[in-house]
């Protein structure tokens, strides 16, 4: 198993047509729902906002990492979305957000491999080269190979 | 060269903890220091600091949004508490400031 096992290829949209944070979370959650990774979209989105209320998820350089630890998660995985223009988000550098990496975590999973792999994905986002490549990626599968190279 | 150790921990323990760790490690290495960062997250504690790590350390960086476990281990050490945000946003500046402080 490697990081690509937690990045959900069915929940990657590099050409999101949304105007704001709410729309981005909504569309990515819909993809997770269609894929069967979450049981209830509303419940999941509520849990994502619960985390949003606890502190900024914009980590700077156009990237945000919202996450929902939720009972509605069936399969712990990561959805990825990108908006060309950049949308308003609470970020540590006050820049807008273009790349949204949404972590869906099963509330009950503690010491499991998937959460460990997610930690690896998060760690990779500390690497500028990876972030830049993600902002430029053209296809969903490119996202996987970028993380795989790490 | 300094021996830097630290702990990162965030509210959910899923993502920020690990980004902050990598940022601190990268910045410290870039500036020529030895570094080891313990993470306290959902998956438990990883890269746990040993007695030896702590003994050798010149500085302990705690970048956390929550109360961390095992703070008493650093009794008598120079400890600097920073918000998670600082470690993610400007890890290099943070370490450079520590360099200056320890020098003076």
> What is the rounded average pLDDT of the residues B78-91?
95
pLDDT over 70 percentage in chain B: 100
Separation of alpha carbons A45 and A142, rounded Å: 27
Domain that holds residue A88: 3-149
A122 and B16 within 8 Å at the Cβ level: the answer is yes
Q: What is the ipTM of this complex?
A: 0.89
Can you give the pLDDT at residue A112? 81
Residue A113 has pLDDT above 80, yes or no: yes
Query: A122 Cβ partners below 8 Å, 6+ apart?
Result: A65, A103, B14, B15, B16, B17, B18, B19
C-alpha count within 13 angstroms, C-beta hemisphere, residue A50: 11
Residue B64 has pLDDT above 90, yes or no: yes
Can you give the pLDDT at residue B40? 96
A65 and B89 within 8 Å at the Cβ level: the answer is no
Residue A150 has pLDDT above 70, yes or no: no
Closest CB from B14, B43, B89 relative to A111: B43
Separation of alpha carbons B65 and B83, rounded Å: 6
B34 strand-pairing partners: B3
Chain A / chain B CB contacts < 8 angstroms? 78
A65: closest chain B residue by CA: B15
Among B5, B10, B63, B94, the active-site one is B10
Q: Is B34 helix (H, G, I), strand (E, B) or coil?
A: strand
List of chain A residues whose C-beta atoms are within 8 Å of the C-beta of residue B64: none
Query: A73 Cβ partners below 8 Å, 6+ apart?
Result: A37, A38, A39, A44, A104, A105, A106, A107
A125 and B19 within 8 Å at the Cβ level: the answer is yes
Can you give the pLDDT at residue B11? 87
Separation of alpha carbons A66 and A59, rounded Å: 10
Looking at chain B, how many residues does it have? 104
How do strand A77-87 and strand A97-106 relate by DSSP bridges?
A: antiparallel
Mean confidence (pLDDT) of chain B: 95
Can you give the pLDDT at residue B74? 97
Task: Specify the CATH number for the domain of residue A48.
Answer: 3.40.930.10
Residue B10 annotated among the catalytic residues of the structure: yes
Can you give the pLDDT at residue A149? 78
For an interface test with A, the pick among B12, B24, B26, B86 (most A C-beta atoms closer than 10 Å) comes out as B12
CATH numbers and ranges of domains, chain B: 3-103 (3.40.50.2300)
B15 and A69 within 8 Å at the Cβ level: the answer is no
Contact A45, A24 (CB under 8 A): no
The continuous run of DSSP H or E covering A17 comes out as: none
pLDDT over 70 percentage in chain A: 98
Residue A111 has pLDDT above 60, yes or no: no
Residue A77 phi, psi dihedral angles, 5° rounding: -160, 180
* Structural domains counted in chain A: 1
Residue B29 phi, psi dihedral angles, 5° rounding: -65, -45
> What is the rounded average pLDDT of the residues A23-47?
97
């Amino acid at each position: 198993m490697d990081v690509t096992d937690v990045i959900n290829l069915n929940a990657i949209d590099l050409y999101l047509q949304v105007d704001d944070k709410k729309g981005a979370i909504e569309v990515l959650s819909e993809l997770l729902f269609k894929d069967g990774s979450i049981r209830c979209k509303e419940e999941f989105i509520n849990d994502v906002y619960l985390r949003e209320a606890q502190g900024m998820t914009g980590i700077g350089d156009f990237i945000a990492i919202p996450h929902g630890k939720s009972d509605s998660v069936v399969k712990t995985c990561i959805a990825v979305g990108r908006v060309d223009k950049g949308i308003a988000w609470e970020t540590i550098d006050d820049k807008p957000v273009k790349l949204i990496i949404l972590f869906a975590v099963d509330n009950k999973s503690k010491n499991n491999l998937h959460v460990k792999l997610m930690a690896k994905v998060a760690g990779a986002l500390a690497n500028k080269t990876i972030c830049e490549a993600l902002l430029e990626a053209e296809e969903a599968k490119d996202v996987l190979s970028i993380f795989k190279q790490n | 060269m300094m021996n830097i150790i630290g702990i990162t921990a965030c509210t959910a323990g899923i993502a920020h903890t690990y980004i902050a760790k990598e940022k601190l490690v990268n910045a410290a290495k870039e500036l020529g220091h030895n570094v080891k960062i313990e993470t306290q997250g959902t998956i438990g504690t990883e890269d746990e600091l040993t007695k030896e790590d702590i003994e050798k350390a010149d500085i302990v960086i705690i970048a956390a949004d929550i109360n961390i476990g095992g703070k008493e281990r650093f009794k008598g050490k120079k400890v600097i508490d920073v918000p998670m945000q600082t470690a993610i946003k400007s890890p290099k500046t943070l370490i450079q400031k520590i360099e200056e402080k320890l020098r003076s």
